[in-house]
Each structure stands twice: as structure tokens, then as C-alpha cells.
Structure 1
Amino acid sequence: MKLSEQEAAWLEVRRYLEANRFDLGVDAQHEYVDHVKFFETPLLTVANWLPLSPIPLLGIDLQLRASQTTAGSSVDYGANLPLSLDNTTYQNYADVFQALAAPRAFQNRTTYRLEEAELTDTSRSRLAFSLGRYFDSLNTGEASAHEYAAARLGRGDGGIRKNIKDPCDLAQRPVNMAVSALTLKRTAGGEFEFFLHWRDPKKVGHAGGLYQVVPSGVFQAAGEEALHQTNDFSLLKFLARELAEELLGEAEINSDGSRALDYSEWGLFRKLQVSVDDGGARMWCVGLGVDPLTFATDLLAVLVFEHDAFADVFGEVTRENDEGRVLAAKRFDEATVSNLVRNERMQAAGAALLASAWHHRDTILSPS
């Protein structure tokens, strides 16, 4: 592909970002000295996103406003984007990304856009959403990571990070909330294990080359039609779809039909619901946080499965999926958690989730 001089320079910065994403993320936290760091990890948070003790995930009040919010372009937020060969300036980071470096999965699907969050305690836990688009966060957050990498290379610093002064202020930018969940399973011997996911940069548009908990994905419906947006607006339904993709290697459920998905007909969801109802599976929320490099915003969940419940719902776990590779189960103990949080190339949300889960282990691991 023939590139303009500016496109070639953009691609060099992009490659540098991918090769150094972890170190850049660790460094970027120091731009936010006044922000709370989630359990001394790089993940940024605020007081009303950080409950003193875990709260029931499925007890969070979810509110959906039917309107779809129009987001500004990357240029509107201050991005410095390249000229193409015909001297046209790109308006959005996603357009440059798609033209020069798009991964295998790259679709501008409708998402649930986070507008308000309160997670202080069980009685007041609430998340309010409107509708947005997947590229909305990419055009601000991933673009901000790119300009941070460019500044490191001495190629200017752009304007996004100057204009979005507080990435934890949900009014300053479009926020596609991801749900990142640490899946813990009790072994036959009574100990607990968990899984990690290596995100393949050739397959994903965000956090490629880093380790993350399983599952993790942007909160969205299975289809674009309004009936899906309403029917799929559930953390349990969303997690069931993500667990099927990442732990079992199944294809993403992506409906383009005029009939809402009937989750009661889906065997995995039925088994998951039964496990939740009878206590074989327990689901907790430990907070909400923002990555200091990419502004990715994650609801942090812990899914705890008793031995028989996990075997019944999942059986064998895959080693490969559409977004990367699932590592062999690791022991949930202090040494393993500490090493991953302090020494490994963990995504900020994953590190924060592991640290928080270990801190709250007495609560989250105790049977109801």
C-alpha cells in the first residue's frame, strides 16, 4: 500500500504503541497524581465508583435511556491526524486505523454508553446508559494513547489529553463501558483457580499484547435492532455471551434478525442461571475504573464458581478464541496474584481486579 509521509509516520507511532503499550500505560498514570489509583495499580477511579466491600453484581440497577448520543470527531477533541495521499485530512482515529492497521474484528457496532455511575454500596448501586457506537471511545481513548506514544517519540503531543482533563468525568467524553470479570473456580481439592487471556494484537483493536482476565468485553447487545438493545440489556445475559466466546471459543452471537434472542432456550445460559439461583455461582462487583493510557472504562466483576457448577456450565475450557489465547488455570494465591499485578504485562483493569479480589477474598469466596 502506498502511503503519504504523514500516514507512514502515523503507522510508525502505532507500531511503537503496540510494542510498548504496557510500559506506556504504567507511565501514563503519573499524569493523574490527584486521582485515586485502584488498589495501587495504574487504574484510575473515584470515590463513588469504589465500594468499601464487594456488592452483588446482579443487584446493580441498570437504566437505559433510549436516545443515541452523537459523539464528536477525533479532530473535535483535538487529535492531530495525518493527511492521506490525496491531501485529505482524516477526521477520526478509527478511519486511519481502519485504513492502515485494522485488526480482524473491527466493527462500529451500537453500544451501551455509560453516562452515570454510583457504586458506593449495595442499596445505591446504579449504572445509567444511553446508546453510542464502538468507535466513539476509540476516537478519543485509543487516539489519546496514540498521541501519548507520539509525544514519547518527540512527535508532538496532540490535544485530546489536554482537552479531556479528567478521564473519570463521564461528561467529558463518550464512554463505552467494558465488563471485565475474573472467573474463579473451586477445584476438586477445595482451592481456587482462575484464567487469564492473552489478547492477540492481530485480532483486537484494544489492549493487544497484554494479559487480561476472562471474560472481558464492551457492554453491548447481540444485534443492532432496538428490540435487541432492550432484550439484551442485562449483565448476566452479556456475561453469558462473553463466557461462551472466551472460555469455550464459540463464535460471537451477532443477531441481525427481527426476533429477540430467547435466552431461556440457550443451554449455557439456563445452566448459568440455575447456578446463580442455587448459589453454585456467585457474582460480585468490586468497582469501576479508567485506564490512564487508553481511557478504557471497565466495570470490575468477580465470578465465583463451585466445582460442580463450573463443570456443569462449561465443561472443558478452550485454549484459543477469536481474540487470543486462554492460559492454563492459575492458582488463586497471594504469590501468583502479587506476581501478576507487579511484574507481568497485565491490562490495568485486570491488575486492579486481581488485587481487589485478593483483598476481598474472604467475602467473595465464602459460600452464601
Structure 2
Amino acid sequence: WDRRCDFDLWRNIVREYSEELLGTPEHDGTRTQPIDYEGWPLFQQLTQARSDGTAYTAVLGIGLDALTLAATILTVVVLDDDVFTQVFGDAVRLNDEGEIVNVAGGAPIDGVPFTEENVTRMLTAEPMASPGAACLSLAWQHRDHLLGL
């Protein structure tokens, strides 16, 4: 693991998007050469979107698993529709960790509308790891701020 290059919250978020939505293998620098972030198109696009104000990132808190004492930094990224479609238009349906959630068998980038009904269903009736559930719950709680309303 390249601590000099990879120990950065924003870079970690981009790597996770690459793995989860684009289906790339674990992209943490342990199996390959160090990652050239400045030359990586995905990193460039998402970083530019943050600079342009079409992507917003926030830390929601820190979660702690009571059994393992593993800590998780709970983050959220809000992307404008156009940015999401441009960057993740080729999202995979399946990745190494599971299936991308969507509505009624639609395309992976269709996602699930961010409504109270869907958030409640996801939190009460769908399988979800506790950090994901915490992020979703906190994002819903702070939605007005996150969405600039």
C-alpha cells in the first residue's frame, strides 16, 4: 500500500467508485504499480466536478463496529445528474462485492430515487452493511443541506 499516494480520503472515495460502479479490481496500489492519480481520467473528472461545484463531498461521522472495533469514516458524495451520467454511464451491474441496486431491473446508473419511501425500504427491508445503512440514514437526515435546499 502506497501511504504517500493513497492515504487520502478523496482518493479512497474515487478508488471505491472505480471498484464498485465500474467493476475494476481492488485499486489500492498493493497489486499493481502506484496509482498515477493526476493522470487517471476518473480521478481528473471527479476532482474537476468538485472544483466546478457539480460534486459535493461531506463527512457524516465516524462509525464503530461494536464487535470488531473497526472504525469507518462515513462519507457522502452528491453528484449532479450530468456528471454522474458522464462519469458512470458504463456502470456494471455486478462487481466483486455484489450487485448494483436499481429500480425494476433498469440500468445500473438509473439507481434508486432518493425518497423517504425508498430510504425507509432500504433501511428496513434490504440487506445492507451497517456503515452503508448509517451513511444512508445520515444522508437522509441531512438531505436539505446536502442537496443545497
Normalised TM-score (structure 2): 0.84
- Which residue of 330, 347, 350 corresponds with 2:129? 347
* 1:271–1:312 Cα contact (<8 Å) kept: no
How far residue 291 of structure 1 moved from its aligned partner, in angstroms, is 2.3
- Which residue of 325, 331, 337 corresponds with 2:119? 337
Query: Which residue is equivalent to 2:105?
Result: none
How far residue 285 of structure 1 moved from its aligned partner, in angstroms, is 0.9
Among all aligned residue pairs of Structure 1 and Structure 2, give the percentage whose two residues are the same amino acid: 38
Pick the structure with more helix per residue: 2
CA RMSD of aligned residues (A): 2.1
Query: Which residue is equivalent to 1:325?
Result: 99
Q: List gaps (5 residues or longer) in structure 1.
A: 1-222
Question: What amino acid sits opposite 2:18 in the alignment?
Answer: A
Question: What amino acid sits opposite 1:331 in the alignment?
Answer: P
- d(CA) in 2 for partners of 1:325, 1:236: 24
Query: Which residue is equivalent to 1:79?
Result: none
Pick the structure with more strand per residue: 1
Q: List gaps (5 residues or longer) in structure 2.
A: 103-110
The 1:263–1:342 alpha-carbon spacing in structure 2 relative to 1, beyond 3 Å, is same
Q: How many residues align?
A: 141
- Which residue of 7, 11, 22 corresponds with 1:248? 22
- d(CA) in 1 for partners of 2:118, 2:88: 24
* 2:15–2:28 Cα contact (<8 Å) kept: no
How far residue 312 of structure 1 moved from its aligned partner, in angstroms, is 2.1
- d(CA) in 1 for partners of 2:42, 2:88: 8
Question: What amino acid sits opposite 1:350 in the alignment?
Answer: G
The 1:324–1:366 alpha-carbon spacing in structure 2 relative to 1, beyond 3 Å, is same
Cα offsets for 1:258-307 (capped at 9, x unmatched): 96432111111110110010011100111111123443321111110001
- d(CA) in 2 for partners of 1:241, 1:365: 24
How far residue 249 of structure 1 moved from its aligned partner, in angstroms, is 0.5
Q: Give the structure with higher Rg (CA).
A: 1
- Which residue of 255, 265, 280 corresponds with 2:54? 280
